[in-house]
Amino acid sequence: SNQKALKKLGGPDGLLDLLETSLHDGISSASISERTGTFGANFTPSAPPPTFLSLLIDSVVEDATVQILIVSALVSLAVGVYDDPETGWIEGAAIIAAVVIVAFVTAGNDYQKEQQFRKLEDVAVSAKDVKVIRDGETHELSSKEVVVGDVVLLEPGDKIPADGVLMLCDAGGVVADESSLTGEIDGVEKANFDNSKTDPFVLSGCNVTSGSGHMVVVAVGRHSQWGVIKASLEKEQAQTPLQEKLDDMAAMIGYIGMAAAAATFIALMAIRFLALKNNTIDLSSDEGWFAAVLEAFIIAVTIVVVAVPEGLPLAVTISLAFSTKKMLKDNNLIRHLAACETMGNATNICSDKTGTLTENKMKVVDGVFGEVDFADAGTLSADVKTRVVECIANCSTASVESGTNHVIGNKTEGGMLLMLQSAEWKTERDYHQIRDASRFGEVGGGRIFPFSSEKKSMSVLVDVNASAAAANGGKKSTRGKQAAAASSSFRLYHKGAAERVLENCAFYTTKNGDVKKMTAAKKKAFNKYIHEYALRALRCIALAHRDDCQDDVDVHTIDGETCAEELEHGLTLDAIVGIADPLRPEVPGAIKVCQRAGITVRMVTGDNLETAVAIAKEAGIMTEDGIAMEGAEFRELTPAQLDEILPNLQVLARSSPNDKNILVQRLNGALLPEDEEAWKALHPLANWKKDKDKLLPGYVAEWKAARENGVGEVVGVTGDGTNDGPALKAADVGLSMGISGTDVAKDASDIVILDDNFTSIVKAVLWGRSVYDNIRKFLQFQLTVNVVALTITFVSSVGGYAPPLNAVMMLWVNLIMDTMGALALGTEKPTAALLLRQPYLRDSALVSKPMWRNILFQSAYQLILLLVLLFEGTAMFGDKFLRGDYCMNWKLSNGDKSYDLTAIGSLEVKEQYNGVGVIGSDLSAQSYYTTTETGDGTTCGDFYRVCGSDNNGECYQDNFASNYDTGFKSACLDNCAKTDYDYTHFTIIFNAFVWCQIFNEFNARQIKNDPNILSGIMQSKMFLLVIIVTVLFQIFVVELGGDWVRTTHIEFNYWAWSVLFGAGSIPVGLLMRLCPIWNEEDEESFFGYVMPS
């Protein structure tokens, strides 16, 4: 086994010698490069990201619409080449080219998103949150800087950065959560190597849930346990709720589009069948039927292309990727994408005090030491000073960086260590030497009982005789048998919340170091100090001791629970310390912003009630109608009683992590017991029938019944400690602290606040709202495009026209409106105005009433414009071009082959052309025409005699072409060469349609009633860039698209009219916002408390 192997190496001492390291001094910094070269770096490369090629393939394989387009393109290509080998391939090739462009753009966006998340992961890995000893000093490093031989200091909540062997640990050992490696949820006990069965090996990637100690690193990177299995744990980012909503909406719109496409196909085939029945077309040949079906199929596919809004999921991806990058600059590291948007609709923020609302720069500013005030501490006797200094040094795992005032570890403990550096408190030994002399973790040495959030205190057992011997010897540390042989006298040093420690004190220390009995009057006097400090918003910490503990318990085997029961009473009070942690100057303003935005801010703290209320009032959290209570009182409430005070509960003091968890559960209903079995697992000693409505946190059915819609609050919770994990998980958005937070808290959170500052949380709310509104802007824009394009395509097809917006045009529209529109509207920066409304309800509609009004107005304007251009466009522009895409020069294929022109129902030639008689309604007129009844029909060649052999397209259009005539064309004429088509009419319609979208993109920047669509436009550089690129590309497509897109060069006046028609969207946008219909969102869409005045 590993323990046997360690024993063969000579145990811990042999391992230390082999790795050339020391528990006290660590490794030498000079050996780092050699160690990295020999043992490797503590960095495991992530699984390789998907390649651009794989993402390109996925964009085709996973998109049914693209697959339909490819099939239709191939069919069109095959048929076109068969009919016209020279130019018939152009349409199919154009569709394929457009599909390739769309696929490349989609893959490019996915690739960029993947790269963005890799960068965010690198930021997380680079965080300096590992404490190691090097060259005898404590340093903070990132996990990837750890090397083999490093001595790492472990504390509760730390993530173990590498595989190692535990060398020193406190009384209860270390408990590690190895579930990430083994799947076992129970903690695994670890202890020093002492030839016992207890495991001394700690594994990378696991978390320390309790206990503290020193470990020596033995394996890093790919050689560690975490490195071996990391590749198999790679996970893709899950979709966010908003992405799922948009996927559902896109699917629904797609279904509607497919239904419209099917209806169009059926209608077109029905019209052709009726035309066949009335003898107005000839579909006798297989080619005729196939051409008719293919034409109807391509039109149906075009409608599908128009309808499916692939840009919706893309828009939220682009917006989230953009926002997460910007949020990182605002000190918000997004760990789960969903948190970004969810935070925007948060209705409650349950915030810690220390470091979040305050600066976390702890400084002792007042206190009473052995009955002497802080200002007179220099008059204390040596005995009192020694006890205070030893208590502070030993009851702490923090340290102060050499030569600076930078605290590594707990800031409260660091504040007291900084006090020891002042002249009044300097003693013969510094805090490092005092800790070394206590020999924590060694056999026969001192014992540490870590801070308990339940008791709000911690204790250590120290052999004061051994410590004194070390001091007299003048050594840094005492090791070995000589110290162990000295007569032992173990003292308990106890540090914690002042009022709780005072309750357990039966004695107090005087100025001269004498110990006197604690009287009621003296206790009242000490309580007065605590009360006065609390009113000044000072954190109150008491220091106490108890001598000769070896007479009462076995100090070498006692556990934390026994220590609390047997030793942490009858104490002697040595000092009460008042520690200032100034409120961050920007916090009161940030609190006001939250309250104005409909967000209730609550302070949940471990401080006593008076200190918490003083800070809360200074911050603006506590109002006149606000309620403040302590955790003990909170826990006694029934669910109904808690619900009653929840709207005004603003401060929860002396709270435990479980109190915070219960508060979150009652607010949002998360993780509540769902049935009797789950409730009993939470309350094993309670009776379901009698107690189910009495005990917190309640259960699901009761919680839903107590709320109008059964919908809970959206809760953001801050946390920094290991025990905050459950509350962070229960919250809709868990916010861990980047500086003071433990790794357990960070792993449980959704967002890491890198600077521990409440104002960064407000920025997270702002960005979340920005993401939500940006997606709605794009949705408003996209739905307008879809409604118009779908309707015009359907109407024109059923009305007998080829769709004015063909498949290739619509692919271009999809590209600029989906990808470019998503970039333009999805990357708009947030404005302060976003915080002037309440949060949206969890299940509120994405498309609000004002948005529907905007969509309908713009769609109506564009549809009227396009239909007028479709039916009256030729007349509007002086009949300078014919309607639709028409052939300018038809070629005969069958010369004078007999063909009965009477089959052409619309033929109305009123004059004699080149000897051809009158054909049409006036059959009684003089004529050379003879009917088929005489067996003497006219021929295909009569077409040239009527219309000429060159530039005959207009004559054909006027005299020979019926709406659905495929018979004469297929019997007598060759397919028109692509180069002989005139696309002017549909080019103008296409151009006007795109310019409508360009101008409507400005309208879409406002989703409510603000007429100022140019607000902040100069700050939206991406929006302006997209508009410029879209305009340039549109000019390119129109002027140079040719037979590929079926566009043609158009005159300047046609361009001017197209831009003018598009610009009409702007005044329509102004009018629609003045319309009294649907001008306000439903009040039911919003949530959040209205703050008490």
Nearest in space to 654 (alpha carbons), one of 626, 622, 628, 632: 632
3 state SS for 116-140: HHHHHHHHHHCCEEEEEEECCEEEE
* 923 band by pLDDT with thresholds 50, 70 and 90: very low
Residue 474's region, left for phi above 0, alpha for psi from -120 to 50, else beta, is left
pLDDT digits (tens, 9 = 90+) for 932-972: 333 344 567 767 777 777 777 777 766 666 544 546 666 67
3 state SS for 195-255: CCCCECEECCCCEEEECCEEEEEEECHHHCHHHHHHHHHCCCCCCCHHHHHHHHHHHHHHH
Q: Which residues pair with 132 in a beta bridge?
A: 139, 152
The pLDDT assigned to 578 comes to: 94
* 998 band by pLDDT with thresholds 50, 70 and 90: very high
Kindly tell me if the per-residue pLDDT of 575 is higher than 50.
yes
Looking at per-residue pLDDT, the higher value among 148 and 972 belongs to 148
The pLDDT assigned to 134 comes to: 92
| Mean pLDDT to the nearest integer, 729-748 | 81
For 959, phi then psi, to 5°, come to: -115, -30
The pLDDT assigned to 519 comes to: 95
Q: Which of 238-242, 424-428, 606-610, 632-636 has the lowest mean pLDDT?
A: 238-242
Nearest in space to 818 (alpha carbons), one of 772, 782, 792, 846: 782
Per the CB < 8 A criterion, the answer to whether 253 and 782 are in contact is no
| Mean pLDDT to the nearest integer, 316-342 | 81
From first CA to last CA, the distance across the chain in angstroms is 68
Kindly tell me if the per-residue pLDDT of 482 is higher than 60.
no
* 445 band by pLDDT with thresholds 50, 70 and 90: confident
| Mean pLDDT to the nearest integer, 627-633 | 93
> Looking at the annotation, which residues are catalytic?
352
The pLDDT assigned to 91 comes to: 65
3 state SS for 577-606: EEEECCECCCHHHHHHHHHHCCCEEEEECC
The pLDDT assigned to 119 comes to: 65
Name the DSSP letter for residue 510: -
What tokens were used for 887?
């052939």
* 26 band by pLDDT with thresholds 50, 70 and 90: very high
Kindly tell me if the per-residue pLDDT of 307 is higher than 80.
no
Kindly tell me if the per-residue pLDDT of 72 is higher than 70.
no
* 491 band by pLDDT with thresholds 50, 70 and 90: very high
The pLDDT assigned to 934 comes to: 37
* 303 band by pLDDT with thresholds 50, 70 and 90: confident
The pLDDT assigned to 453 comes to: 74
Q: Is the N-terminal amide bond of 585 cis, ω within 30° of 0?
A: no
Find the helix packing angle between 807-814 and 286-307, rounded to 10°.
Answer: 10
pLDDT digits (tens, 9 = 90+) for 157-211: 788 889 999 887 766 678 887 765 655 555 677 877 764 567 788 888 788 877 7
Kindly tell me if the per-residue pLDDT of 909 is higher than 90.
no
- Return d(Cα 434, Cα 447) in angstroms, integer: 14
Name the DSSP letter for residue 161: -
Looking at per-residue pLDDT, the higher value among 113 and 26 belongs to 26
State percent of the chain over pLDDT 90. Answer: 29
Nearest in space to 396 (alpha carbons), one of 424, 434, 426, 428: 434
- Return d(Cα 751, Cα 338) in angstroms, integer: 10
Cα diameter, the chain: 142
Kindly tell me if the per-residue pLDDT of 861 is higher than 90.
yes
| Residues 6 or more apart in contact with residue 104 via CB below 8 angstroms | 56
The pLDDT assigned to 914 comes to: 36
The pLDDT assigned to 167 comes to: 85
